Each structure stands twice: as C-alpha cells, then as structure tokens.
Amino acid sequence: LEGSLEKTIKSIGGDCNAGAAAVIDVNSGDLLAMASYPTYDMSQFSEIYSELINNKSNPMLNRAVSGLYSPGSTYKPLTAIAAIQSGVVKPREMITCTGIYDYYKDYQPGCTNTHGYQNVVNAIYNSCNIYFYETARRLGIEKLNSYFSMFGLGEPTGIELSESEGTVDTVKHRELKGELWTPGLTIQAGIGHGDNQFTPIQLCSYVATLANGGTRYKPYMIKSVLSADMSEVIYETEPEVLKTINVSEKTLKIVKQGMRQVVQNGGSSYYFKDCIVDAAGKTGTSQVIRTTESGVSMVCNNGFFISFAPYDDPEI
C-alpha cells in the first residue's frame, strides 16, 4: 500500500505531494493496511529526527488518522442513503439538472455539467451536484448530520493510535465562529463541502459500514499479543460493533449500484481495468487554499477515492 500510494502521488505530479490510504476488513473492522506519504525510515528515526521535525512536508504526521480533509463528493452516497431512508426522495424520482441550482434567488451554485434528468443511481455515477443540493435541502441539516453521526464521521474511530476527531458543520459550530447558518450551507453539506472535515480512516470506516449492510465496527490494528517466547496468546482482539444502522437492503442496493457504475463506466474505470474482482467506488474533490513558501495563496484540490470489493460480497 505504501508503494502504491507513493507511485500514485508522484504520477499525479504538480502540487500533489502528500496523501494517505487505508484498507479495512468490512466484516470485522480489522485494519489490513494503512499508509501515509511522505514517510520516513523508522530504523533511522534517532539519526534523522532533527531533519524530520524541520521538514515542511511533515512526514511524521500520520495523515490517515490525523489529517483532516473536506470529503467532497465521497459523501454523496451517504446523502443518498439519508434521503431515501428519510423518504424525502424516492429511488426512481427524477430531479432535473440544468447546470445551475436555482431554488434560491440569491444563491445559485452550479454543477460540473448539465446532466438532465437524474435518479439516484445516475446522480451518484455523474456526481451531480444539483441532485444532491436538492436532496440536502429537503433533508435539512439536522437530519443530514444525524447520518454523519450514524456512520462515525466527525468522531474518533477508537483505533489504537492518537487520532483527530474531525469537524461536523452544524448550526452550533457556526455560532461559535460568530456566523449565522444559511440554507446555502445546508446544500453545500449535501455534497461534502462547508466546514466538514474528516480523517481518511473515518471515510474508510464509513464505506465499510455501507458495504457490509450497516454494521459499524471499531477499527483495530492489534490482532493479538503473544508472550515473550511466542508460545502463548495473552490477548486477542474480538471485533467490536459500535453501531448497527437501520438501513434497508433496498436503499443500500440502489446506492451501491451508483457506486458500481462509477467503477464500470466512469473515469475511474481505467484504474480498475486489471482488477480481478468487481468493485464499486466514488470519487471526491474538495477545494483548499494553500499558501506557498513565498506567501502566495493559491486554490488547490484534495482528491479522494472510496471503494469496496468484491461488489456482490464485500470483503475490503
């Protein structure tokens, strides 16, 4: 995983110089692999410590558990689950994407394209902002945020490492910043923007919960602890269920179909052309303002990909 992560980041080039990845067993919470880039050689830690702490790329930050990022469109499958389960959107209902969301007179955000009629499967596949603006408006921020909480976003996962909690964009959060909540913030939350910030391990746990049918496990790294002579098992981790979410099989099936199309027919299908099993996934992009060493502010993107496989009987 470390090798793949480094190769991918270097192949992107430009201002892409850091990242993280995680792989979870969806049926237990067992963390099978985790990587953060840039990294360093642990065997040389003492010798290169001063170099590490002065390195502006911060290689000692485990971005997988401590990095906080706006999730972008990786949140759209969860918005879809919330909307269908709450009954504000019907699975076959069509919402028209004209490229501009014109429900409000004073705030009319756009979409990446003009998608026309969209049901939930199409909207996930096309990552249609207009569809998810409308579903988020119908849901309201309280209901939307309740699904954030169900799937563990914005709270520690419980993994055996120091981790960041994350931020859920709420009315109270804005009040503490001296800001008023507006309808525009609600619809932006529906596409994973605003002040929502989560760790990669939280996103991975959320997808694992979606993939296995609604059981959120506590992620763990330590499978077992052995005695000094390796002859006796002193401790063995048992999978721990943190929450069982009441999501219908029909709802999950529909959302998974949209994620399947992303891998089958979307731009990400190229990366799965040699995959030996069927997979499903969702891309995500969120804009950030980065300040260069010379003090210049520039708009950059954080890029995400969430996935699960095999599609019919998920394991990771």
The label of the residue with tokens 């642990």 reads 42
Contact 143, 234 (CB under 8 A): no
**What pLDDT does residue 272 have?**
87
pLDDT for residue 294: 76
The residues, any chain, with a CB within 8 Å of residue 253's CB and separated by 6 or more, are none
Neighbours of 256 (CB within 10 A): 20
pLDDT of residue 166: 94
**Calpha distance 105→222 (Å, rounded):** 54
Does the predicted TM-score (pTM) go above 0.85? yes
Angle 24-30-35 (CA atoms, 0-180°, nearest 5)? Answer: 55
Q: Three-state DSSP class for 306?
A: strand
Q: How far apart are CA 171 and CA 301, in angstroms?
A: 26
- Integer Cα distance of 125 and 258 in angstroms: 5
**Residue 122 CA: distances (Å) to CA of 108, 127, 131, 137, 261:** 22, 8, 10, 19, 9
Provide the residue-wise pLDDT of the chain in tens; the chain has 316 residues. 999 999 999 998 888 889 999 999 999 999 999 999 999 988 989 999 999 998 888 899 999 999 999 999 999 999 999 999 999 999 999 999 999 999 999 999 999 999 999 999 999 999 999 999 999 999 999 999 999 999 999 999 999 999 999 999 999 999 999 999 999 999 999 999 999 999 999 999 999 999 999 999 999 999 999 999 999 999 999 999 999 999 999 999 999 999 999 999 988 888 888 889 999 999 999 888 877 777 788 888 899 999 999 999 999 9
In angstroms, how far is the first alpha carbon of the chain from the final one? 14
pLDDT score for 210: 98
